[in-house]
Every structure is written in C-alpha cells, then in structure tokens.
Amino acid sequence: MRFTLSKIEIAVGYEAVAALAMVLLLDHSGRTVSCLIAAALHESGHLLMMLLRSCHIRRITVRLFDVQILSDEPKSRRDDLLITAMGVITNFLSAGIFSLFWRRLALSNLVIGVFNLLPIGSLDGGHLMRLLLSGRMSYRAVDRIEKILSFVFLIPFFFLGIFVLLRTKYNYSLLAVSLYLLAVLLLKREFVSC
C-alpha cells in the first residue's frame, strides 16, 4: 500500500497491516498499543531531527519489524549522530513524561529505547557504534566488530525468546524480533562478502 503525504512517499507492507490487525484483535491487554505508540514516538524522533538538520525525507517504508526512512545523506557526521540518537532520546524523554500518568507506555518507551541502544547492526546502537568507531578504525575492522557484537547480543536474545515463548505459551515477540535481526545480519553478511 502506497500513498504520498506532504511530498513524502509512504509505503506500508501488507504483512505489517495484516500483523497489526491480527495483534490488535487478539491482544486484549493493551500491551501492543503501548508498544506501537512507543515505536511511533521513536521513529518520530528520527524524523523530527532530520527535519531540524534539513535532511530531505523522500520515502518512509513500514514493514513487519522495522521502519526505513530514505532521505538525503546527513550533511555531517554530527548530523548523522544526532539523527540516529534522537529516536532513543525521544523514547527516554517519553518514558519520563508518561511515567506520571501511563506507566505501561512509560515502560514500553524505556524498553524500546534500551533495546535500540544495543550494538546490533540494524538497530540505532549498531549505527551509533559504527559512526563512533569509523573515525578511528578501518571499515573492515568496524564491520567485523559490528558483526561479532551483533551475534554476541542476538544469540542470548534468541534463547531468551524461546524461554519466554515456552513459559507464556503465547508471547513470541522477542523470538520473532531476534530471528528477524539474525536473518538481516546473515543476509547482509552474505551480500557484503560476495
């Protein structure tokens, strides 16, 4: 599904719409809504900083487990750091504000912020690590460190996801996210090595 909003092309994958509809229908606890709001706030933080740093946003793609924002390259490394960090900063600020009156949303913001700080290639923490190390090390060394750290963090999350699923009999979210991030990492690895 594609549409244009304020000269920005927005594409939403059908799998994302179907999963959203299914989860919203089946989740009577309200946890999913708070997680979705926290994720929207996170991405809004990136978008806001892009606009403040004069990056022209061309396209936003919403898929099952991620949102990709296609824009002009940031004008400087500092801009790239600010844009990348703003998603997590937005989550932490939101957690503080919502802790006053909506604790579930505060917790969701805190969890999404901390999770995105992990040094995993596809997450903000991985991108921040890459930006910080690239000024001091070669591309190959940074790439190697990113891959090793990504696996070091993802393997325990994968097993924790299995444990949570077996324990709760229904909560598969951590397992699904871990599998998705592992797949992205492995596919990127094959693509880079070809």
Tell me, what's the pLDDT at 117? Answer: 94
Single residue among 93, 117, 141 that ends a domain in this structure: 117
User: Does one domain contain both 163 and 182?
Assistant: yes
User: Does one domain contain both 69 and 93?
Assistant: yes
Q: Using CA atoms, how far apart are residues 94 and 55, in angstroms rounded to an integer?
A: 24
User: Does one domain contain both 180 and 164?
Assistant: yes
User: Does one domain contain both 75 and 30?
Assistant: yes
Q: Residue 142 belongs to what domain range?
A: 119-194
Tell me, what's the pLDDT at 194? Answer: 28
Count of structural domains, the chain: 2
pTM, entire model: 0.81
For residue range 142-157, what is the model confidence (pLDDT) as tens digits? 988 988 999 899 999 8
Q: Using CA atoms, how far apart are residues 120 and 179, in angstroms rounded to an integer?
A: 13
Tell me, what's the pLDDT at 99? Answer: 93
User: Does one domain contain both 30 and 96?
Assistant: yes
What is the spatial order of strands in the sheet that 2-5 belongs to?
A: 2-5, 8-12, 57-62, 67-71
Q: Using CA atoms, how far apart are residues 77 and 9, in angstroms rounded to an integer?
A: 26
Instruction: Please state the φ and ψ torsions of residue 66, each to the nearest 5 degrees.
Output: -155, 170
User: Does one domain contain both 126 and 44?
Assistant: no
Under-70 pLDDT residues of the chain: 188-194
For 60, the token pair is: 């936003």
Tell me, what's the pLDDT at 100? Answer: 94
Tell me, what's the pLDDT at 49? Answer: 92
Single residue among 83, 117, 151 that ends a domain in this structure: 117
